[in-house]
A and B are shown apart, each in its own frame.
Chain A
Amino acid sequence: MNTDNPLVLGIETSCDETGIGIVRGRELLSNTIASSMDEHARYGGVVPEVAARAHLEAIVPAIHEAVAEAGISLHDLDAIAVTSGPGLSGALMVGIGAAKALAVSLDKPLYAVNHLVGHVGADILDPAGDAFEYPTVALLVSGGHTSLLLVRDLVSNVELLGETIDDAAGEAFDKVARVLGLPYPGGPQIDRVAASGDPKAIRFPRGLTLPKDLEKHRYDFSFSGLKTAVARWVEKKRDDGDEVPVADVAASFREAVADVLLTKAIAACHDYDVPRLLLGGGVVANARVRELAAERAQAAGVQLRIPPLSLCTDNGAMIAELGAQLIMNGHAPSTLDFPADSSLPVTEIQVR
């Protein structure tokens, strides 16, 4: 096996994107994504069974497409990498079954890797300049995750500083969008209508930011109370027969989410004396989150990295890259016996 510049195919099926990525060392050759998002739209959120069925139908065409785009043959691969968790069990299992079969059919080593750490590794593939050195703080925000990590080393030392204790931030966007009568997925919709709203119009609560909460949950997030506060506020307006100022509600809600995300992320940079912050996950598509991240990072003297959106949302390239990094650092492959682990802790970078 080429351990200096390994050619790795990564398979990601933890949620609603079937991602197949191919990398050679630190170089991105293909980032192929088949999304079942449209099939979930009518249900207002990801339906696990719908997602799992879509993975099964998409996985072979996606591998074909990725291999063609990368201009390689499957036999050229040095290794296969696959997300083994965290994520939706039934969805993860499709990728795991496929990855194991591919590894055996090609007689190639297999690396089972952590989805969240994969998001951090995506930065290495960012064509805009050199990847971050470590340690770095990473804020990963999506429809399924809201996690604050301290990454001392990508392949050997990742610590979970905090995570959401209820809804993920992306989930809160979806739910508030529904309250406002906006379609799924909620993030882009909230962003669109918030553009003309006043973010200071309504002071919605910032979860887990009171001193008594900070003692136990300094880096944890909570968005369930915020979502309910928005719903109450909107219901009261409607009950009173007033028109709901949708733009102001959206802008104020978005501001509350962005504020609490960045306040805690910058606090972590400060507390751990780590002047680097990496953003990942689909919610970084949100214009206000990006803008506030840039403002707060600059004010705090923290360097900010936001990879391109195609590498921030779930994808197979980041999984391939984490596999490549494990190989380049001399880590042995996984066995063929690992399970899907829907709640795989972030400290388990690779599952043996």
Chain B
Amino acid sequence: MLLVLDSSIGTSVAVVDLERGVIAERGEADTMRHAEVVGALIRDVLAEAGVTVDELSGVVAGMGPGPFTGLRIGIAAARVFALGAGKPLVPMVSHDAIAADWYEAGGTGELLVVTDARRRERYYSTYSDADTRVQGPALAKPDDLPEAANRVDATSVSAGALGMVAERRYAAGLPFPADEPLYLRSPDVTLSAGPKRVTA
């Protein structure tokens, strides 16, 4: 049984199990309220699932890609929850949840997953099936996105779906990505060219 947190777009929290599926899932779509809602969402999802912290076998963190400020909150919460619970952290690529949803709904073939990266750019990943990411996650201008037979422009990530991908990967003995936030951009900062004159 896994607790799953993803704040790569909104905030989504779930408890999942390989056999029982998604046991409970709650979310907040607002992309500006991650820090407010994350604590109560975890508490409420555990309560709804009727699962104690001790019963969990790990904590999944959606590592993005996603806008930095929100993304970090879910990762910080997942890492520290795992520490407090004494359970392993399971990093996952957030786009995998979007792809899993699409294939689950009957989609077949090649898929391009696209999410908003702000500043007129997009995050994208491509898949050949639900468990196989071929490209990405990466960052591109809308016109430079790769071609694919199918495309999903997602505005939410489901922690439930992400957790189920993690359960299947674990069961199949597939590797997990590194425990690193997928910012895909350097901090926005320019080196100072020295002090500016104050007199003309």
Closest CB of chain B to A104's CB: distance in Å? 5
Interface pair A101/B78, CB less than 8 Å apart: yes
| Bound-complex Cα distance A64 to B84 (A) | 10
Q: Does A56 contact B (CB under 8 A)?
A: yes
Residues of chain B contacted by A231 (CB below 8 angstroms): 195, 197-199
CB distance from B22 to the nearest CB of A (A): 20
Interface residues of A in 65-94 (CB under 8 A from B): 74, 89-90, 92-94
Q: What is the minimal beta-carbon distance from B58 to any residue of chain A, in angstroms? A: 13
User: Contact at B46–A97, with CB atoms within 8 Å?
Assistant: no
Which of B34-42, B125-133, B156-164, B167-175 interfaces with chain A? B34-42
| Residues of chain A in range 48-70 having any CB-CB distance to chain B below 8 Å | 49-50, 52-53, 55-56, 59-60, 63-64
Chain B positions 31 through 64: 1 when the CB is less than 8 Å from some CB of chain A, otherwise 0: 0011111111011001000000100000000000
Contacts A43-B192, A179-B195 known; A101 to B39 CB distance under 8 Å? yes
A-facing residues in B41-97 (Cβ within 8 Å): 42-43, 46, 53, 68-69, 72-85
Q: Which residue of B lies closest to A96 (CB)?
A: B35
Check if A235 sits within 8 Å of B199, measured CB to CB.
yes
Q: Tell whether, in the assembled complex, residue A104 and residue B42 are in contact, meaning their CB atoms are under 8 Å apart.
A: yes
Task: Tell me whether B19 is interfacial, beta carbon within 8 Å.
Answer: no
Distance, CA A52 to CA B80, complexed state (A): 16
Do B72 and A105 touch across chains, with their CB atoms under 8 A apart?
A: no
Contacts of A106 in B (CB 8 A): 84
State whether the Cβ of A203 lies closer than 8 Å to any Cβ in chain B.
Answer: no
Q: B79, B188, B194: which contacts A59 (Cβ < 8 A)? A: B79
* A97 CA / B71 CA spacing, docked (Å): 11
A36 to chain B, nearest CB (A): 11
Chain A residues lying within 8 Å of B199, measured Cβ to Cβ, are: 231-232, 235-236, 239
Classify the interface of chain B: helix, strand, loop or mixed: helix
CB distance from B61 to the nearest CB of A (A): 11
Contact in complex: B191, A52 (CB < 8 Å): no
A247–chain B nearest beta-carbon distance, Å? 19
Q: Say yes or no: is B106 at the interface (Cβ < 8 Å to chain A).
A: no
List chain B residues, Cβ under 8 A from A103: 39
Candidates A50, A56, A175, A337; contact of B75 at CB < 8 Å: A56
The answer to the question of B177 belonging to the interface, with a C-beta cut-off of 8 Å to chain A, is no
Q: Which residue of A lies closest to B186 (CB)?
A: A49
Q: Provide the bound-state CA to CA distance between A55 and B188, in Å.
A: 17
| B183 at the A interface (CB under 8 A) | yes
Q: Which of A47, A96, A99, A100 contacts B189 (CB 8 A)?
A: A47
Q: Are B35 and A59 in contact (CB under 8 A)?
A: no
| B198-A228 in contact (CB<8A) | yes
The answer to whether residues A101 and B42 also contact, given A42-B191, A236-B199 and a CB cut-off of 8 A, is yes
With A44-B192, A63-B83, A101-B81 as contacts: A52 and B39 at CB distance below 8 Å = no
Partner of A60, one of B69, B72, B80: B80
User: Assuming A49-B189, A56-B181, is B36 touching A337 (CB within 8 A)?
Assistant: yes
A178, CB-defined interface residue at 8 Å: yes
- Total chain B interface residues with beta-carbon distance under 8 A: 40
Bound: A58/B42 CA distance, A? 22
CA distance A311 to B86 in the complex (A): 30
B135 CB, min distance to chain A CBs, angstroms: 25
Q: Which residue of B has the minimal Cβ distance to A106?
A: B84
Task: Please tell me if the beta carbons of B81 and A102 are within 8 angstroms of each other in the complex.
Answer: yes
User: How does the 8 Å CB contact mask read for A95-126 relative to B, with 1 for contact and 0 for none?
Assistant: 11111111111110010000000000000000
Whether A59 pairs with B80 at a CB distance below 8 angstroms is: yes
Residues in B neighbouring A287, C-beta threshold 8 A: none
| A302 beta carbon closer than 8 Å to chain B | no
B79, A60: Cβ atoms closer than 8 Å: yes
Give the residue of B46, B80, B188, B197 whose beta carbon is less than 8 angstroms from that of A98. B80
Are B69 and A105 touching (Cβ within 8 A)? Answer: no
Q: Quick one: closest A residue to B83, CB to CB?
A: A60
Q: Of A49, A89, A98, which contacts B76 at CB under 8 A?
A: A98
A205 interface residue per 8 A CB criterion = no
Chain A residues in 8 Å Cβ range of B43: 104, 336
What are the residues of chain A within 8 A of B73 when measuring CB–CB? 93-94, 96-97
Q: A179 — which chain B residues lie within 8 A by C-beta?
A: 195
Q: Mark A148-186, 1 if CB is under 8 A from B, else 0.
A: 000000000000000000000000000100110000000
A residues in contact (CB < 8 Å) with B: 42-44, 47, 49-50, 52-53, 55-56, 59-60, 63-64, 74, 89-90, 92-107, 110, 175, 178-179, 228, 231-232, 235-236, 239, 335-340
Q: Give 8 nearest A-B pairs by CB, closest first.
A: A100-B39, A105-B84, A336-B39, A101-B77, A97-B73, A49-B187, A101-B81, A93-B35
* A100-B77, A103-B39 known, 10 other contacts, Cβ within 8 Å: A43-B189, A60-B79, A60-B83, A93-B35, A94-B76, A98-B77, A98-B80, A101-B78, A102-B80, A339-B33
Between-chain CB contacts (< 8 Å), 14 pairs: A42-B191, A52-B72, A53-B72, A56-B75, A59-B79, A90-B68, A90-B72, A97-B72, A98-B77, A101-B78, A101-B84, A104-B46, A105-B84, A337-B39
